Amino acid sequence: MSDLWQGVLEKIDDYRWRIPKNYKAGMRVPGIIYADEKLLKDIRHDKAAEQVANVAFLPGIVRASLAMPDIHWGYGFPIGGVAATDADNGGVVSPGGVGYDINCGVRLLKTNFQFEEIKDKIKDLTYVLFSDIPAGLGSTGAIKVSAKEEKEILIQGAGWAVKRGYGTTDDLECTEERGAIAGADPSAVSDRAYDRGKAQSGTLGSGNHFLEVQMIDQLYDRDACDAFGLSEGQITLMIHSGSRGLGYQICDDYVKNMVHCLSKYQINVPDRQLACAPLDSEEGKSYLRAMKCAANYAWANRQCLMHLARLAFERFFKRSWQDMGMSLIYDVAHNIAKIEKYNIDGKEKTLCVHRKGATRAFGPGNPALPERYKKTGQPVIIPGDMGRNSYLLVGTKKAEEETFGSTCHGAGRLKSRAEATRTINFTELLKELEAKGITVKGSGRGTIVEEAPQAYKDVNDVVKVVHDAGISKRVCRMRPLGVIKG
């Protein structure tokens, strides 16, 4: 039992557990973890819950340090962590609360195809997508940009790609922040970060990034499915990628620079990985300007990836993407800090909401949503592992009241990449996936083994918790058919 986290967890209800504020001297708020009994056993197997308690030390933090059911160990913050700090009451921003892959996120497209129509073509389609979409560590793309254009991408985000003909304005309407968050400042980005990003627009990257051809295999909310134009057996496409080397370098630069802020601003945190700066300080403002650049780069990147995927479908099926109904349902960020307003103890507060491995989940009527989703609530896209399922959910008013409009972002790792590599056999894994009718193409054996289903929690368990807790609502479930891994 010595390897288990031994901290205090008080049961609030079947889906919420509290780390009391007195667990560690210096905690400003309690910690709250969303999980059921089954997932709690996995959560205790690393020190992510301790990180939830550590985040509660941040100056200006309000209400609670939160963790979603896909929580696991991360840098400073746990992956699956959510924390909001009060901009007008000493609140801080922490790069560890956003993560290294700034605006790692996911988008979901629908098509007009039914599984029965194209089931015999899935393997060949997967090979074409793998051929046409650059993937893997350090991969570079066919979309080349000048230094001037790269700065335009950092400000315009997905809008830059649409102006170049890589999509439509409808795509922007169906993207969080319309694909570009205001306030990005390219001068806050280092030359090293520019160098790492300039050749990577329209590339999938490595690790858990993927492009997946899927089939809807279960409907939960038929009214919402009708509103989104979705039906059982329909083919969908999911794209998961982020800000690549540019975002990683921006995080690295600011994490190192911000450590001195702890002494400069007399900030006491139990972990130097929680290095942070006041939101109204020059260091805090500079990080947010650079982070927004990386976020916009990621939205442009996913827009370019979608464009390349549409072209691959056109080449394979000899039809236009419009004729195939390849419209974007939504694109959401998973690693980002956003300035948003919430009612705290009866007063409207301006907060910096850190979502690290967590998805925005605004409910019906939220003014930030496009008109088409005002009635349903914001689409929430939750990818699972390549052997089980992914989900489309919608946000809720309860999420806005409880979790700063946030929910989970995926399945959450059970095994580290090193442990997966050591314990999972590549050949057996491919046989297992093939037996389920899943074709997988990757840039290397290592990536595929690291991303094996056994390395992850079951996303069905994770989504059940957020649904039953009321912080997002299931719409439909997809299963993988063809997977491209970086």
How confident is the model over 184-211, as pLDDT tens digits? 999 999 989 888 877 665 666 656 788 9
Helix (H, G, I), strand (E, B) or coil at 34: strand
409 is catalytic: yes
CATH number for 243: 3.90.1860.10
Domain span at residue 359 reads 10-485
246 Cβ contact list (under 8 Å, min separation 6): 189, 193, 194, 196, 197, 200, 293, 294, 297
Residue 192 inside a domain? The answer is yes
What pLDDT, on the 0 to 100 scale, is given for residue 136?
46
Rounded to whole angstroms, how far apart are CA atoms 469 and 416? 28
What pLDDT, on the 0 to 100 scale, is given for residue 144?
66
**Residue in the structure block whose two tokens are 């939101």:** 279
Q: Are the CB atoms for 193 and 336 separated by under 8 Å? A: no
Helix (H, G, I), strand (E, B) or coil at 309: helix
What pLDDT, on the 0 to 100 scale, is given for residue 417?
86
What pLDDT, on the 0 to 100 scale, is given for residue 137?
45
pTM: 0.95
Mean pLDDT of successive 10-residue stretches along the chain, which has 486 residues: 79 97 97 96 91 98 98 96 97 97 97 97 96 64 71 95 95 98 96 78 67 97 97 97 92 94 97 97 98 96 94 97 98 98 95 98 97 97 95 98 97 88 92 93 85 92 98 98 89
Rounded to whole angstroms, how far apart are CA atoms 113 and 234? 6
Distance between start and end Cα atoms, the chain = 36
Residue 5 inside a domain? The answer is no
Rounded to whole angstroms, how far apart are CA atoms 212 and 287? 33
Residue 294 inside a domain? The answer is yes
Q: Please tell me which residue in 72, 240, 409, 467 is annotated as part of the active site.
A: 409
Residue 189 inside a domain? The answer is yes
What pLDDT, on the 0 to 100 scale, is given for residue 465?
98
Rounded to whole angstroms, how far apart are CA atoms 245 and 255? 15
Q: Give, in order, the Cα–Cα distances in Å from 464 to each of 25, 66, 214, 230, 292.
A: 34, 18, 20, 21, 32
How many structural domains comprise the chain?
1
Residue 1 inside a domain? The answer is no
What pLDDT, on the 0 to 100 scale, is given for residue 485?
84
What pLDDT, on the 0 to 100 scale, is given for residue 443?
77
Q: With the C-alpha atoms ordered 96, 410, 292, 52, is the resulting torsion angle positive or negative?
A: negative
